[in-house]
Structure 1
Amino acid sequence: MFKVAKPVFLIVETPLHAGSGSDLGAVDLPIQRERHTDFPKVEGSSVKGCFREAFEEYPANHEIVVNKKKTKVRDLIGLTFGPEDGSEGAGALGFTDARLLLFPVKSMKGIFAWITCPRVLRQFKNDLTLAGVTLEKAVPETPGVIPGANVTVSQKVILEEYTFDLPNSNLLKEFSEWLAGRVLPSGEEYNYWREKMKKDIVILPDDDFRDFVNLSTEVITRTKISPNTGTVESGALFTEEYLPSETVLYTLVLATPIMRPDDKKNNSVLKADDPVQEASNVLEYFATGLPTVIQMGGNATIGKGIVRTHIMKEDKK
C-alpha cells in the first residue's frame, strides 16, 4: 500500500494520441477512454512507461540530490520504477490513470474555453483527498460561468455551434483562481495562460461535457504515398484520434518504501527507518528528477504527444 502521494498535472502541448488499438467505429485508431463515462484518459501503465522513459533518457552521469545525498538518476530507476525483470521485485512508484480535468473547446469569443463538469470536479476532489491534499477552496458542483468571462456573449457561452445559458458563479471564480496557481508552472511565460484559466473555465452539465469530449477531439486522416505512383497506397488511408493541445490531465504518483532491500548499494540513498519517510524519499527522487517536458503516446516522430509536467505544490500555511 502506498504511503505518500502527489498530484501531477499534464498539460498537452501538442495533440496526444494514447491509443486503445484499432476499432470498427468511425475512427480507426481511437484514444483510451473510461468504460463507464466515456471520458478520455491515459492508462496508468502508459503514464508509468512514459515517465520511466524520461528518466532513462538522462545521461549516465547526470546527478540529482535526494535525501541530502548526491546520486545518479539512472542508478535508482530499478528501485523506484521497478527492475526490467519483474521477478526481482516491484518498484516503489505507482501511477493512477491520467484523468481529464479541463478540455479545450472552440468558443465564439475568446478563441476557446476550458470546459469541465460536476462529475469531473467531484472526482478531482476525491483524488486529491487520496493524496492527502485538502482543498482550501470549495469545488463548484453545479454548471456555471465566471462573472466577466472572456468567452461570454450577451451573458451566454457559445461553444462550437451550441449556445449555453449558464449562471454566473463566484464560487467557480474563486476555484479557477486557486487552480490556475497550481496547474501551471510559475514562470512568466505562463502568465497569459494563468490569466486565461482564471477567466475562461466553464462548467457544463455532465451530459453536455460527455458529448463534447466525444465529438470535439481531433481526428486526423493519415495516408501513405507510394514513391512509385505518387498516389495513396492501397489500405494506407486511416484516421487517428487525438486529445487537442491545451487539454489538462492529472495523475497521482504513489510511493511506497523500497521493495528490494537486497540492493544495498543504491538503498542507502532512499533508506530510512520510518516507512513513510522512506516513501517520501522515493517521491523526492521522482519530483527532483522529473523533466518539465516529456513525450507521451504515439507518433513522436511527427511531433505529437509533447506534454508539460507540473507537480502540484502544497499550499503555504
Structure 2
Amino acid sequence: MKAHLYHIETISNLHVGSGEANEGVIDNLIQRDAITDLPVIHSSSLKGALREHFKTSKVVKYIFGSEANDTSCREAGAFRFFDARLLAVPVRSDKVPYLLATCPAVLKDYCDTIKLFGLKLTDDEKALLNLNAKKTYVVDGKYNGASIEDLDTCAVYNSTLVALSRFLGNSSVLVSDKDFKTLCDNDHLPVIARNYLDNGESKNLWYEQVLPRFSRLYFPVFIPDDTMFGEFQSTLTSSLIQIGGNATVGYGYCKLFLRKMNTND
C-alpha cells in the first residue's frame, strides 16, 4: 500500500459532532483528539462523508467496503483512512479580516505524520520543524503589528518564516503551542445558536460548536493499487465535499487537495 496525504480547507463552518453529553452552555460539541484535545475529524466520520460523495462511482464498494445494511456479502474496503487532524485556524485581526494561525507543535505533528507514513519531507516542510514561537509572528511585513483579537496581542513580522508563507500563504501567523490551544478551546471556537420553529413558535433552542470556515486539516490514506488512484483523486478533488452534519443549512462544505510536493519527494 502507498500513502497519500490530503489537505482539507473548510469553505463553510464545520460541525462533526462528538456525540458526548455536555453539561455546559454548549449543547453539541465537535470531535476532539484524545491526546491533544484539538479539533479532529475521526476517520469513521471522514470515511462516511467520502463514501457519500462517491456514492455514484462504480468503485465505491472497492474503496469503502459494503454498506452497513448489506447482509448478502460483507466486504471490507481496500482503502485505509485515518483521522483528519487540525493544521490551522482563522483568527480575527485589525489589519485583515482574518489570519491563518498555526503553531510549532501542530507543524511538527504534521511533519511526523508524513515521515511515519513513508513519505519524504519537502524542503519547506523540513524548515517547519525548526520553527519556534517565543512571540506571535506574521510572515508578511504588511501585517506587522496586527492585533490578534482572541489572544489580545499584536503580531511581529518575522522575515525568517518564508517556508511557512509558502506552506500556508502570506496571511499566516505563528503562535505558541499554548496560545493555539487557547484559540481552539470551548471558550474561543465559534458557537452558533440553532432554533426549531413550529408555526413561528420556538420549540427548541440549542447551541452548536463549529470549526470555522477557512480552517485547514489533513489526513493520510493508504491506497493499495495505483491504478485506482487517478479515479479516487479526480472524484475527491473535482467538487466540494460535505462533511459532518447540517448540510441543509450549509455546514461542512470542504475543498480537498493533494499535498503539494517538490522534487525532493
Question: Against the structure 1 CA distance between its residues 88 and 232, is the aligned structure 2 distance closer, same or farther, given a 3 Å change threshold?
Answer: closer
Measure, in 1, the Cα distance between the counterparts of 2:45 and 2:30: 12
The number of aligned residues is 252
- Which residue identity lines up with residue 301 of structure 1 in the other structure? T
Q: Any gaps of 5 or more consecutive residues in structure 2?
A: none
Q: Which residue of 298, 301, 307 corresponds with 2:254?
A: 307
SS in structure 2 of the partner of residue 220 of structure 1: strand
| Pairing of 1:36-75 with structure 2 (within 5 A) | 36-56=35-55, 58=56, 74-75=57-58
Aligned to 1:216: 188
What does the per-residue CA deviation read over 1:141-176, in whole Å, with 9 as the maximum and x for residues that have no partner?
3015245444332xx643336114556241x22232
Name the CA distance, whole Å, in 2 between partners of 1:149 and 1:106: 17
Match in the other structure for 2:149: 159
From 97, 101, 110, the counterpart of 2:96: 110
Partner of 1:90: 76
Which of 275, 279, 285 is matched with 2:231 structurally? 285
Secondary structure of 2:201's partner? Answer: coil
Alpha-carbon spacing, 1:165–1:146, altered in 2? closer, same or farther (3 Å): closer
**If you compute each CA radius of gyration, which structure gives the higher value, 1 or 2?**
1
- Secondary structure in 2 matching 1:33: coil
Whether 1:243 aligns to 2:211 is yes
Match of 1:7 in 2: 5
Aligned ranges 1:114-129 → 2 under 5 Å: 114-129=100-115
Alignment counterpart, residue 202 of structure 2, candidates 227, 232, 240: 232
> Does structure 1 retain, via aligned residues, the 8 Å contact 2:88–2:217?
yes
Partner of 1:176: 165
Q: Taking structure 1 as the reference length, what is the TM-score of the superposition?
A: 0.74
Whose helix proportion is higher, 1 or 2? Answer: 1
Distance 1:166 1:152, change over 3 A: closer
Once residues 148 and 136 of structure 1 are traced to their aligned partners in structure 2, the CA distance between those partners, rounded to angstroms, is 20
C-alpha deviation, 1:280, in angstroms: 1.9
Using the aligned pairs only, state the percent identity.
31
Tell me, yes or no, if the aligned pair for 2:33 and 2:40 is still in contact at 8 Å.
yes
Q: Is the 8 A contact 2:101 2:180 kept in 1?
A: yes
Going from structure 1 to structure 2, the CA distance change for 1:305 and 1:147 (only over 3 Å counts) comes to closer
What CA distance in whole angstroms lies between the structure 2 residues aligned with 1:204 and 1:313?
23
RMSD of equivalent CA atoms: 2.1
Gaps of 5+ in 1: 59-73, 181-196, 257-278
Query: Scaled by the length of structure 2, what TM-score is found?
Result: 0.87
- Whether the aligned pair in 2 keeps the contact of 1:294 and 1:306 (CA below 8 Å) is yes
Quick one: distance in 2 between partners of 1:222 and 1:302?
11
